[in-house]
Structure formats: structure tokens, C-alpha cells
């Protein structure tokens, strides 16, 4: 698969997606949005990828936002297409059915912050910065930021960021729960890959159903969400992996899961 603005490789069941426009701080133009949408559609049905790491190229930026020139040319007609495609791309990430780890190596502003929000786990460098500065352009965070950010950090803190357009550093992002952990820049991909490998060592079906349970459960009431887990656990109890996992625990060894 060859793309103009992203790089992709798979290694040991891990898919690496890299936004590759370092000369413009990896900002998202329409072509990049469409390429990201395409690669995640392919990853969804790729049996050789079970966990994804998403990052940006270069040392300065994860994704520094949307392409300002393109945004300035939008009108209510062509702007609708951009907004819908932008949201669809991030939905493909969130509802991929496989864990996606954002390795945030620098600026994550606007559409870049929204890209990180669509991922399931976020690891940032100590030099990373975050913000939803769309109000400075007279816009809203239309790529999911108005909805995912409050669900992650709470309504009050999200509204402060969304309404002021303020930029925060990695320490503050960690404090409010925007990122899972912060690491030195030189350790970012190693830490992200170690986490991916740890997830890969767990029961594959259990990982998939846990992800499904959490994401779907946030959209329905608590009683129905908990009730839905009955069907999931019954599915797992019928698998060889559960028998292997419990047997390995008793025998004090690492389980050898087969995903069935």
C-alpha cells in the first residue's frame, strides 16, 4: 500500500501508522484525512494486525491541526463533505475493534488533538502540547473534540479548553486524564510498542470484547451496558483460550492463547 501523506508497516501483529508531512507539522489536509480513513478500513480486516500504533513523523508534531488554507476556503457546501469525512475517519479509529495507541511526539492541536482522542490509549512525550484552538479561527472542534474531550476529562475542563482555545503541556494533559502516561521523547515508540506487545500477550478475544464493552457501554445506560456483558462472557467461556488461561494460571506459566 502506497500513500502520499502517511506511512504504514506491520511488524509482529502491530500496525504502525505514521502521518508523514513533517515539513508542515503533519497538518491534516483532505488527502491525508482520506488516506487515514482508507488505511484504518484496511487494518480492520487485516488478520496480520491486532494492535495499532499511530504517530507523527519528525520531532516537533504528532499532528498540529487542520490545513488552515483549506479550512479558510470551505463554505457550507464543500465544508459539509470535509466535516463528515473528518468525523468518519476518526470513527473508524475508535470503532476499529482493535486497540489503537496514540504515540504523541509533539504538537497535538485541533484536528490532531481530535485524532489522539479517537485512539484508545494515549502516550505522550514530555515535550508534547495539546489544545483545541478552533475558536481562535471562529470554528468549533468539529472532528469529534466537542464530544470526546468531555467524555475523557469531564465537562468543565473540556469546556475551558474548547472555549478559550488554550494550549496545555504534557504534564497538565496527564493531570486531567487526557493522556495515560508521559515519557522522554527518545522512549516514546519503545514504550508504545511495549504496551502493544503486552496487549498482544493477553487473550485476543478477551481484548476485542473488552474494547467493545467499554466503547459501546459509554453510549447506553449503565444497567443495559452491564447486562450486555453477560453475552460477552458466555462467548468467552466457550473458548479454548479461557481453558488455557486458567490452566496456565494454576501451572504458574504464561498462557499460549490461540484466539479461539
CATH number at residue 210: 1.10.12
Q: Name the grid cell of 4.
A: 502520499
State the total domains in the chain: 2
Query: Of 134, 171, 240, 256, which is the active-site residue?
Result: 134
pLDDT tens string, the chain, 260 residues long: the values are 689 999 999 999 999 999 999 999 999 999 999 999 999 999 999 999 999 999 999 999 999 998 888 877 878 877 888 889 999 999 999 999 999 999 999 999 999 999 999 999 999 999 999 999 999 999 999 999 999 999 999 999 999 999 999 999 999 999 999 999 999 999 999 999 999 999 999 999 999 999 999 999 988 999 999 999 999 999 999 999 999 899 999 999 999 888 88
Asked if 244 is an active-site residue, the reply is no
- Note whether 155 and 73 are same-domain residues: yes
Boundary-marking domain end, from 200, 215, 239? 200
190 occurs within a structural domain: yes
Q: What is the dihedral of CA 240, 198, 118, 258, to 10 degrees?
A: -20
Range of the domain at 228: 204-250
Asked if 219 is an active-site residue, the reply is no
Query: Of 114, 171, 186, 219, which is the active-site residue?
Result: 114
Burial level of 253, CB count in 10 A (0-12/13-18/19+)?
exposed
| Close Cβ partners of 27 (under 8 Å, ≥ 6 residues apart) | 21, 63, 64, 65, 66, 67, 68, 111, 112
Of residues 11, 30, 52, 43, the one with CA closest to residue 192 = 52
Amino acid at each position: 500500500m502506497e500513500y502520499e501523506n502517511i506511512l504504514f508497516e506491520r511488524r509482529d501483529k502491530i500496525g504502525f501508522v505514521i502521518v508523514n508531512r513533517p515539513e508542515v507539522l503533519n497538518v491534516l489536509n483532505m488527502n491525508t484525512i482520506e488516506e487515514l480513513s482508507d488505511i484504518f478500513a484496511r487494518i480492520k480486516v487485516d488478520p496480520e494486525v491486532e494492535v495499532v500504533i499511530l504517530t507523527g513523523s519528525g520531532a516537533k508534531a504528532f499532528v498540529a491541526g487542520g490545513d488552515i488554507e483549506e479550512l479558510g476556503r470551505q463554505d457550507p457546501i464543500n465544508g459539509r463533505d470535509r466535516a463528515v469525512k473528518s468525523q468518519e475517519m476518526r470513527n473508524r479509529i475508535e470503532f476499529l475493534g482493535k486497540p489503537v495507541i496514540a504515540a504523541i511526539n509533539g504538537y497535538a492541536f485541533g484536528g490532531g488533538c481530535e485524532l489522539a482522542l479517537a485512539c484508545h490509549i494515549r502516550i505522550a512525550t514530555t515535550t508534547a502540547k495539546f489544545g483545541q484552538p478552533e475558536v481562535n479561527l471562529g470554528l468549533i472542534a468539529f472532528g469529534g473534540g466537542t464530544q470526546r474531550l468531555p467524555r475523557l476529562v469531564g465537562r468543565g475542563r473540556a469546556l475551558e479548553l474548547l472555549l478559550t482555545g488554550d494550549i496545555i503541556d504534557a504534564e497538565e494533559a496527564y493531570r486531567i486524564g487526557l493522556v495515560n502516561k508521559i515519557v522522554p521523547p527518545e522512549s516514546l515508540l519503545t514504550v508504545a510498542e511495549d504496551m502493544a506487545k503486552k496487549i498482544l500477550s493477553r487473550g485476543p478475544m478477551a481484548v476485542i470484547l473488552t474494547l467493545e464493552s467499554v466503547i459501546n457501554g459509554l453510549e447506553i445506560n449503565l444497567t443495559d451496558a452491564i447486562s450486555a456483558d453477560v453475552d460477552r462472557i458466555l462467548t468467552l467461556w466457550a473458548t479454548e483460550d479461557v481453558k488455557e488461561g486458567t490452566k496456565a494460571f494454576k501451572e504458574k506459566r504464561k498462557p499460549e492463547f490461540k484466539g479461539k
